[in-house]
Amino acid sequence: MQGIAVLPQGLENEGVKELIALGAKSATPLKRSVAFKADMSCFYRLHLLARLPFRFLREIARFSCDDRQSLYFGIQNSLDWERWIHPSMTFRVDVTGRSKGLPNSYYTALQVKNALVDLQRTVWGKRSDINIENPDICLHVHLNSQGCVLSLDGSARSLHRRGYRAAVGLAPLKENLAAGLMQISGWDGKVPLVDPLCGSGTLLIEAVSSLLGLVPATNRSFLFEGWADFDPNLWDIEQKNAYSNESPKQIIPLVLGCEQDPVVANHARKNIQEAGLQRHIKIQTSHFRDLVLPDAPGLIVCNPPYGKRIGMYEDLEDLYEELSRFLKKNASGWHFWLLSGNRDLSRSIQMKATKKFPISNGGIDCRWLNYLIN
């Protein structure tokens, strides 16, 4: 099948690597997505094991359409709907893109819904209900100048929600973004890992979970389990393989988070516990200046406040300067990765970045900056 992985902007190249490692073919980066080919086993595996995408779309039809009528008939003719959506099932329609004759996503979704429920009424005399939060089928319509690409979304809920994070502090990173940042950092579990401003601990949890090969979300169901061509045997095999490859007891070096707000530090501990990583990640409640780093050089990652959402600018300038002094004094020879959403503030670090990756963090244009501390 032809598929699309939807990703945070800036993680497209990492997404390609992840998809290829999980068996996808012809993975090609696009804007905020990766196009790929996969067989059904691989499609199931991607849902179980990929850490970076928000969702996976399975293309089911492509047709030209330039107005409401051609969209309506195009949708009706694109699949044997009687097999796929019985009136007892609920559905949702998501729309991206637009075209000259279909400029409004809301009306496009409405027209797709009309095409389907009209068809159902003709066949069964009744229709499906719409369910936005928890549908049985989620249709994804993408419009462009050539027409419409119709896909099925394999999961109603975004895959970044792993389920371990009941509690978060201010401005938490999304789990898939944190996973992507850690993938870029190249941390391989051979050196200590420290986050001096760890908030709810997302960077550390994603780093360790990935290193140990843990299935990113357990106890989660997917919409493809209700598809007409769902193959339970294949799904069973993929699940068994995924869980048998986990190595939760692997010995790893020190992984330490520091958070000065005791409530947020407790959130981090709770999340770490939920993720099953309490034996691997320690959280210290203090200002980062009280951190004692191990001698062996390792990796420091951090996502300090950058003023768009939390923190006053002048205070933040002091914070960045103090962080810079701390690192230079205590972390010579360590690698440092900083997620910065404010160029002026990152200048207060007073070091020259050796690598820069543009990343969008919830719409804020950020840079993932790498420094070698000397």
Ligand X SMILES: C[S@@+](CC[C@H](N)C(=O)[O-])C[C@H]1O[C@@H](n2cnc3c(N)ncnc32)[C@H](O)[C@@H]1O
Contact flag: residue 260 with ligand X (CB under 6 A): yes
Among 222, 288, 336, 371, binds ligand X (CB under 6 A): 288
**Quick one: 153 or 206, whose CB is closer to ligand X?**
206
The full DSSP string for 196-256 is TT-TT-HHHHHHHHHHTT--S-SS---GGGGSTT--HHHHHHHHHHHHHT--TT-----EE
Give least dist CB 282 to ligand X, A: 14
205 binds ligand X (CB under 6 A): no
Residue 13 beta carbon to ligand X: minimum distance, rounded to whole angstroms: 22
Angle 8-311-208 (CA atoms, 0-180°, nearest 5)?
45
- Report the site for ligand X in 309-328 (rule: CB under 6 A): 319
- Indicate whether 261 belongs to the interface with ligand X (CB under 6 A): yes
- Considering only 5, 52, 258, 293, the residue that binds ligand X (CB under 6 A) is 258
Pick the binder of ligand X from 171, 179, 272, 316 (CB under 6 A).
Answer: 171
Cβ neighbour number for residue 86 with a 10 Å cutoff: 16
| Residue 304 touches ligand X, criterion: CB under 6 A | yes
216: contact with ligand X by CB under 6 A: no
| Residue 284 Cβ vs ligand X, minimum distance, rounded to whole Å | 9
Cα–chain-centroid distance for residue 243? 20
Closest CA to 159 of 46, 311, 271: 46
Q: Which of 303, 340, 342, 346 binds ligand X (CB under 6 A)?
A: 303
Q: Which of 96, 80, 48 is nearest to 246 (CA)?
A: 48
Question: Binding to ligand X by residue 8, rule CB under 6 A?
Answer: no
Residue nearest to ligand X (CB): 199
Q: Which of 33, 200, 209, 370 binds ligand X (CB under 6 A)?
A: 200
Task: State how far the Cα of 316 lies from the Cα of 85, in Å rounded to an integer.
Answer: 53
Residues 93, 143, 264, 353: which binds ligand X (CB under 6 A)?
264
3-state DSSP assignment of residue 341 = coil
Instruction: For residue 25, give both structure tokens.
Output: 């073919």
Backbone angles phi, psi at 308, to 5 degrees: -70, -35
Q: Which residue, 154 or 341, is less far from ligand X as judged by CB?
A: 341
Beta bridge partners of 33: 6, 30
Q: 4 or 11: whose CB is closer to ligand X?
A: 11
We find the least distance from the C-beta atom of residue 31 to ligand X, in angstroms, to be 25
Cβ 203 vs Cβ 339: under 8 Å? no
255-259 vs 193-195, strand pairing mode: parallel
| Residues at the contact surface with ligand X, assessed by CB under 6 A | 168-173, 197, 199-200, 202-203, 258-261, 264, 287-288, 303-305, 319
